[in-house]
Amino acid sequence: MSDLQFRLGVVAIALVLITSITSLRFCGSVPLPPKLPPPAPKGTQSELFSKSTTTPTIYKGFLDNDASLAGVRAPTIEEMSKKLPYRSDEARHVLELGQPPIEVAGLRLRIERSGTQVIMVIENELESALAYHVVSTPSSKCGMPQPLPMNAMAIDKQGTVRRTECTWHEGMSIVVTKVETMEVPPLSTWYLSALPPSIVGIEERIARGHHPRTTEKCSPVLPQVVQSGLDRGEIGWRDLVDFYSRHRCQTYQFPSSYRAFTRDNERSVPANGG
C-alpha cells in the first residue's frame, strides 16, 4: 500500500467515526434495556392477606364497617387500645330455688324453675356491657333439656340472660365456683357474640344455647399452640376475651403470646402474630 492510499484510508475512517458520533448526538441515542419489574411480595396469598390486616388503616376499616352492621358508633383505634376493667370471684356460692340472688363481679345471679328446666337468671348491674363467664355445677346429676336461646358470651348494660342449667328435680341447686366479667364497649359485644363459646373455655352444657348476633362464621378451632397454653393454664378466659373484644374473629387469629391489657395502650392494635 502506498503512502497516499494509507492517508486516504485514515481520512475515510475518520469521516465514518465523525458521522456516527454526530448521528448519535443529534439524531438518537443507544436504546437501554427495559426496566425489570419490581420484585413480587413473598409469601402465600393467605400470608399476604394476614400481613395486610395488621395495618392500622385496614383495621380501622373493619371497625367502621362492623360498627355499621352492628348499629353502634364506630370506636377509634385509641379507644380499642384501652384496658378493659376486669373482675373475678372464685368463692363457692350455692343458688337455691326461692333464695335471694347473689351479687358478684357486677352480676346478680339467681335460679328459677321453668317447666321441667332449671334456669339461671344472670343480670348485668353495671352501666357497661359485660363479657361474662359463670362456672356452675348442678348439685346432682341431671338431664340436658333443649336450652333456651341466649348470648353465652356477653350481656348488654343492665341486660339479662336466662340460661338453661339442667332438668329440674326436687331439691335441685346450682353451685357457682367461679365468676369472671370484663367491661367491654358496644362493638365488642357484637364481636364476642360471633365467637363460639367453646373457644374461651365455656363448657358444652352452656355453650349449646348460644345464639350469635351475626351469621358470619368464625372458626371453632384454636391453633394447637394456643390450646396447649389453655390446657397448661398459661392462657386464660381473660386473655382470649380481651383479644376478641378488640379483633373480629372472622379475620384475626389469637396469637399465642397475647395477654390481656393491664394498662391503656400497653401494645398496638391490631395485634401482630406470635
**pLDDT number for residue 215:** 75
Tell me whether residue 65 is in a domain: yes
Predicted TM-score (pTM) of this structure: 0.80
Tell me whether residue 99 is in a domain: yes
Task: Let me know: does 179 contact 104? Beta carbons within 8 Å.
Answer: yes
| Three-state secondary structure call for residue 246 | helix
Could you give the number of structural domains in the chain?
1
- The one-letter code for the residue type at 266 is E
**pLDDT number for residue 257:** 94
Report the DSSP pairing between strands 86-89 and 173-184.
Answer: antiparallel
- Helix crossing, 186-193 with 56-70: angle to 10°? 90
Tell me whether residue 17 is in a domain: no
Cβ neighbors of 100 (< 8 A, separation 6 or more) are: 110
Full residue range of the structural domain in which residue 101 is found: 45-246
Tell me whether residue 136 is in a domain: yes
Tell me whether residue 124 is in a domain: yes
Determine the Cα–Cα distance for residues 261 and 265; give it in Å rounded to an integer.
8
**pLDDT number for residue 20:** 53
Mean pLDDT per segment of 10 residues, for the chain of length 274 residues?
49 51 50 51 45 86 96 96 97 95 97 94 97 95 89 96 93 95 96 94 93 82 90 95 96 95 95 70
Q: Which residues pair with 161 in a beta bridge?
A: 122
Tell me whether residue 272 is in a domain: no
